Chain A
Amino acid sequence: MVWSWLSKLAPLQLGAYRNLGQRGMLGMNERNNRYIAEYNPRYLYPLVDNKLSTKKLALEYGINVPALIGTIENQHDAVNLLDIVKNQTGFCIKPAKGSGGKGIVVIVKQQHGQFYKANGQVFGADDLERHISNILAGLFSLAGKSDLVVIEDLVTVDPCLQAFTYEGVPDLRVILFRGFPVMCMMRLSCRASGGKANLHQGAVGVGIDMASGRAIGAIQDGAPISVHPDTLQPLNTLLVPRWAEMLELACGCYDMTGLGYLGVDLVLDKNHGPLLLELNARPGLSIQMANNAGLVPRLRQVAKLTKTDRYSPAERADYSRQQFGDPRPWLLQ
């Protein structure tokens, strides 16, 4: 039944499959089978799947991260939250083993025992405690395993990016292959994504030219867009500030984890500069749509390199800036 349906579509599909291949798009199966399975040894996963160990590791390697305010490990400690955050105006609650931005709550302001989210939504202390207890029980963790809560300092958006975001903090996603940046994208939160920067939740993905840090295209929900849906800022004016520094910081994360296929999320803080937000051993594939380019040719080029351990992070960043620059003008003009 299914087969007859499939065979009817076959001629059409073979062309479509070939087309994807010609554009060098990396599919989910190939990512899992060829890149993640071969370049990411399983025993390294805990380093990136647990935000707390990532943070500790980053500090060891001198990579800047948002300051840790506190952690909560047991249900009965959930009441300590008020104690932990009493000197903070804003803070961020994250499940240490969460994925895809699940379970993250950003509080921008607390006043008279009320907690305000960026969208003005008000939480009571008991709401936050319930959320913390959910995190601890493993609701957001990858395999439902029991989890712990990381409370960290709020990132303040750098003024030059302020116009490109609604409520949340824009972050820079860099895909590193064997330590070389192969593709970048800026993720902008918007009203539709509820202040979150995850593309599947409706955030805007902006493809970034590796050579210059300039925007080359943007998508939201799989469709191309040219202005930020909420701030109406033209997206082709986006230029990632301190581009070289950001890219070099990303490259350093390879040496820190040893994962060959790695997604690095960076933010630019107004006060602290580039910070490492989190690492991802299974970074998504939508970045190809934001850049309107496939990952495969770049991955193949890097796979051919020999003696990669002789490159320093800065040299790897340089290599990618020279090799993977995208001379195309803004895609929608």
Chain B
Amino acid sequence: MRSRASFYVLVTLLVLIGAGFTVYRHISLGVPWLPGEQRLVWSIEAKIDFHSQDAAVRASFATPSTQPGFKRLSERTASPGFGLAFVEEPNGRRAEWSIRQASGLQVLYYQVDMLVDPSTFKHTQATPPPLRLVTLSGPQAPAANELLSRAQARSADAYTLARELITEFNRQEQLAQLLSHSQKRIVWLVDLLNQAEVPAREVHMLNLEDGRRRQPLVSYLQVFSGENYQLFNVDTGEQGQTANQLVWEQLSAPLLDLAGGDHARVNFSMLKQDVPVTRMLQDKTFQDRGLLDFSIHSLPLEDQTLFKGILLIPVGVLIVVILRLFIGIRTSGTFMPVLIAIAFIQTSLLTGLVGFLLIVGLGLVIRSYLSRHNLLLVARVSAVIVSVIIIIAIFSLLAYHLGLTEGLKITFFPMIILSWTIERTSILWEEDGPREVFTQVGGSLAVAVLAYLVMNNALVKHLTFNFLGLQFIFMALILVCGTYKGYRLTELYRFRPLSPAQH
């Protein structure tokens, strides 16, 4: 009684920790509750082609990074013969191809997967570029100054100034015409905004449309107000970024910096894909979140598959606890059904059941022969183990030669456990008769099938694998089950009232 309070504190603590980790994984990493959930991923391919003049080639290409609205997943490149490196430079992260000698038409491919993450569209913040003041001179200076002063008169802040400036460019067609002789409109816009002490720069955007090929990048004007920014269409003055616009390059660096080649062209093609979240979690970018993460995904792939099975065991164990304490089913070997259920997961149910009955049945026949000889227990069980292995080998061979590949899966059974099951069953048969054998073996199989059905459920698999916190909750559930003092379902029958009339 003295430990009652501390026990419930422990259980509550386990539930809280488990629920905490689970909800944390769901909210912070966006791991969905349901296995089938999918996310939108844009697969974008940049094709770079150029002619090289039989010389050493160095091509530096801007790559997009994680940004509001999009998270960069994996990148791939195809460029036979070229050396490749991703380098972080002051003007962004760039892919650098290099080759000692190349001649003729060269084609480089860069492919990136961008995950659509709509929740982050609103957070548009970046470090503003330094102001670059240019002294306007020459014949265009008065025109430019006039545009700027008109816009300034009608504006209140950085964003309205940018919008009004673009409106002025559209309205004063002749002035705009005059200015465009010396440099592009966007360059003028950046210069004039800087003149008005508003940080601004040119960014390269890609309009995402499913299945489009040969798309160019589009220049947009990025205007800062403190840390916040807004994007402007330089032709229409339209403000803001739509969900389908990806910033490819935002540091006003050249998209492609090519040495040793000419006639360079860059084309983009893109594809929209629905990717299951579970597959996306495998991606490296979802890992490295520190210790709090507790994700199986940070393990090597091979260990992950191992853990997939291991993390299901508590589910099976919980089922055994429930069936034994609340229902009262008798099994041969407390947790043997869980191991059989795990084997069923590997083999599929029907193959597993047939395999189990074959192995145990034949094992019992062999065991009954062995029992006629005066063998020591350890030797006898060992002999049964070897027989089980021989049975499995023969069945696998037979199945293979008969073209039944399903039969090969029989090797997934836990052989030592099966051998002990055979030994115990055989003793049970001798001592308590076949009825008890059928009760216990039947009970074990029923529990195994039930455990299999639950453990093989896609939702259960998804939840146990992705939410380690659930293990704490299983633990708490099992502890609580352990305090149950009520009747078992089978006891309703066992202790049913006796009526003399029955006799």
Verify if B283 is at the interface (C-beta below 8 Å from A): no
- The residue that A29 contacts in the complex, of B374, B484, B502, with Cβ under 8 A, is B484
Contact with A along B374-385 (1 / 0, CB 8 A): 111110000000
Verify if A259 is at the interface (C-beta below 8 Å from B): no
Q: Provide the residues of chain A in CB contact with B491, threshold 8 Å.
A: 20, 25, 27-28
- A332-B432 Cα distance, complex, nearest whole Å: 29
Query: B488 contacts A137, CB within 8 Å?
Result: no
Verify if B453 is at the interface (C-beta below 8 Å from A): yes
- A2-B224 Cα distance, complex, nearest whole Å: 61
Verify if B302 is at the interface (C-beta below 8 Å from A): no
- A267-B486 Cα distance, complex, nearest whole Å: 34
CB distance from B446 to the nearest CB of A (A): 11
The interface-forming segment of A46-54, A87-95, A127-135, A180-188 is A127-135
Given A28-B491, A133-B376, A139-B377, is A331 in contact with B500 using a C-beta cutoff of 8 Å?
A: yes
Given A29-B488, A129-B374, is A224 in contact with B502 using a C-beta cutoff of 8 Å?
A: yes
- A21-B450 Cα distance, complex, nearest whole Å: 30
Query: B498 contacts A137, CB within 8 Å?
Result: no
CB distance from B227 to the nearest CB of A (A): 54
- The residue that A138 contacts in the complex, of B328, B377, B485, B494, with Cβ under 8 A, is B377
Contact with B along A306-327 (1 / 0, CB 8 A): 0000000000000000000000
Verify if A225 is at the interface (C-beta below 8 Å from B): yes
Verify if A17 is at the interface (C-beta below 8 Å from B): yes
Query: B431 contacts A102, CB within 8 Å?
Result: yes
Verify if A114 is at the interface (C-beta below 8 Å from B): no
Query: A33 contacts B487, CB within 8 Å?
Result: no
Q: Interface size of B by Cβ–Cβ distance < 8 Å?
A: 29
Verify if A156 is at the interface (C-beta below 8 Å from B): no
Contact with B along A245-275 (1 / 0, CB 8 A): 0000000000000000000000000000000
- The residue that A225 contacts in the complex, of B453, B487, B503, with Cβ under 8 A, is B503
- A102-B432 Cα distance, complex, nearest whole Å: 9
Verify if B104 is at the interface (C-beta below 8 Å from A): no
- The residue that B486 contacts in the complex, of A19, A30, A134, A289, with Cβ under 8 A, is A30
Q: Provide the residues of chain A in CB contact with B328, threshold 8 Å.
A: 28
- A253-B31 Cα distance, complex, nearest whole Å: 61
Verify if B483 is at the interface (C-beta below 8 Å from A): yes
B344-380 interface with A by 8 A CB criterion: 374-378
Q: Provide the residues of chain A in CB contact with B427, threshold 8 Å.
A: 139
CB distance from B373 to the nearest CB of A (A): 8
- A139-B377 Cα distance, complex, nearest whole Å: 7
CB distance from A66 to the nearest CB of B (A): 22
Query: A201 contacts B377, CB within 8 Å?
Result: no
Question: For chain A, what secondary structure do more than half of its interface residues adopt (helix, strand, loop), or is it mixed?
Answer: helix
Q: Provide the residues of chain A in CB contact with B374, threshold 8 Å.
A: 126, 129-130, 133
CB distance from B501 to the nearest CB of A (A): 10
Given A27-B491, A126-B374, A223-B502, is A200 in contact with B497 using a C-beta cutoff of 8 Å?
A: no
Chain A interface: which size bin?
35 or more
Query: B495 contacts A13, CB within 8 Å?
Result: no
- A200-B428 Cα distance, complex, nearest whole Å: 12
Question: Nearest B residue to A223 by beta-carbon distance?
Answer: B502
Contact with B along A46-72 (1 / 0, CB 8 A): 000000000000000000000000000
Query: A29 contacts B497, CB within 8 Å?
Result: no
Q: Provide the residues of chain B in CB contact with A25, threshold 8 Å.
A: 487, 491, 495
- A19-B495 Cα distance, complex, nearest whole Å: 10
Query: B431 contacts A137, CB within 8 Å?
Result: no
Given A133-B376, A138-B377, is A224 in contact with B498 using a C-beta cutoff of 8 Å?
A: yes
Verify if A234 is at the interface (C-beta below 8 Å from B): no
- A130-B374 Cα distance, complex, nearest whole Å: 5
Interface centre among B487, B489, B494, by most chain A C-beta atoms within 10 angstroms, is: B487
Q: Provide the residues of chain A in CB contact with B255, threshold 8 Å.
A: none
Given A1-B453, A17-B492, A222-B494, is A137 in contact with B376 using a C-beta cutoff of 8 Å?
A: yes
Verify if A236 is at the interface (C-beta below 8 Å from B): no
Q: Provide the residues of chain A in CB contact with B431, threshold 8 Å.
A: 102, 201
CB distance from B396 to the nearest CB of A (A): 30
Given A17-B487, A224-B503, is A137 in contact with B377 using a C-beta cutoff of 8 Å?
A: yes
- Between A and B, how many residue pairs show CB distances below 8 Å? 84
Query: A33 contacts B495, CB within 8 Å?
Result: no
CB distance from B145 to the nearest CB of A (A): 79
Q: Provide the residues of chain B in CB contact with A332, threshold 8 Å.
A: 500, 503
Verify if A212 is at the interface (C-beta below 8 Å from B): no
Query: A2 contacts B503, CB within 8 Å?
Result: no
A15-40 interface with B by 8 A CB criterion: 16-17, 19-21, 23, 25, 27-30, 33-34
Question: Nearest A residue to B374 by beta-carbon distance?
Answer: A130
- A201-B491 Cα distance, complex, nearest whole Å: 18
Query: A29 contacts B495, CB within 8 Å?
Result: no
- A29-B495 Cα distance, complex, nearest whole Å: 14
Question: Nearest A residue to B379 by beta-carbon distance?
Answer: A137
Question: Nearest A residue to B423 by beta-carbon distance?
Answer: A139
Interface centre among A27, A130, A139, by most chain B C-beta atoms within 10 angstroms, is: A27
Verify if A189 is at the interface (C-beta below 8 Å from B): no
Query: A219 contacts B498, CB within 8 Å?
Result: yes
CB distance from A106 to the nearest CB of B (A): 14
CB distance from B288 to the nearest CB of A (A): 40
Verify if B325 is at the interface (C-beta below 8 Å from A): yes
Query: A13 contacts B489, CB within 8 Å?
Result: yes
Query: B486 contacts A27, CB within 8 Å?
Result: yes
- A332-B502 Cα distance, complex, nearest whole Å: 10
CB distance from B496 to the nearest CB of A (A): 8
Query: B486 contacts A17, CB within 8 Å?
Result: yes
Contact with B along A117-147 (1 / 0, CB 8 A): 0000000001001100110011100000000
- A20-B490 Cα distance, complex, nearest whole Å: 12
- A21-B497 Cα distance, complex, nearest whole Å: 12
Query: B498 contacts A292, CB within 8 Å?
Result: yes
CB distance from B202 to the nearest CB of A (A): 62
- A200-B432 Cα distance, complex, nearest whole Å: 8
- The residue that B485 contacts in the complex, of A16, A34, A226, with Cβ under 8 A, is A34
Contact with A along B298-324 (1 / 0, CB 8 A): 000000000000000000000000000
Query: A20 contacts B495, CB within 8 Å?
Result: yes
CB distance from A82 to the nearest CB of B (A): 15
Given A139-B427, A225-B503, is A289 in contact with B498 using a C-beta cutoff of 8 Å?
A: yes
B91-127 interface with A by 8 A CB criterion: none
B451-503 interface with A by 8 A CB criterion: 453, 482-489, 491-492, 494-495, 497-498, 500, 502-503
Query: B483 contacts A33, CB within 8 Å?
Result: yes
Query: A16 contacts B492, CB within 8 Å?
Result: yes
Verify if A110 is at the interface (C-beta below 8 Å from B): no
Given A2-B450, A331-B498, is A30 in contact with B485 using a C-beta cutoff of 8 Å?
A: yes
Other A-B contacts than A23-B497, A219-B498, 4 sampled, CB-CB below 8 A, are: A29-B487, A139-B377, A224-B503, A331-B500
Q: Which 5 A-B pairs have the closest CB atoms?
A: A137-B377, A27-B487, A130-B374, A30-B485, A25-B495
Interchain residue pairs with CB less than 8 A apart (5)? A33-B484, A129-B374, A219-B498, A285-B494, A285-B495
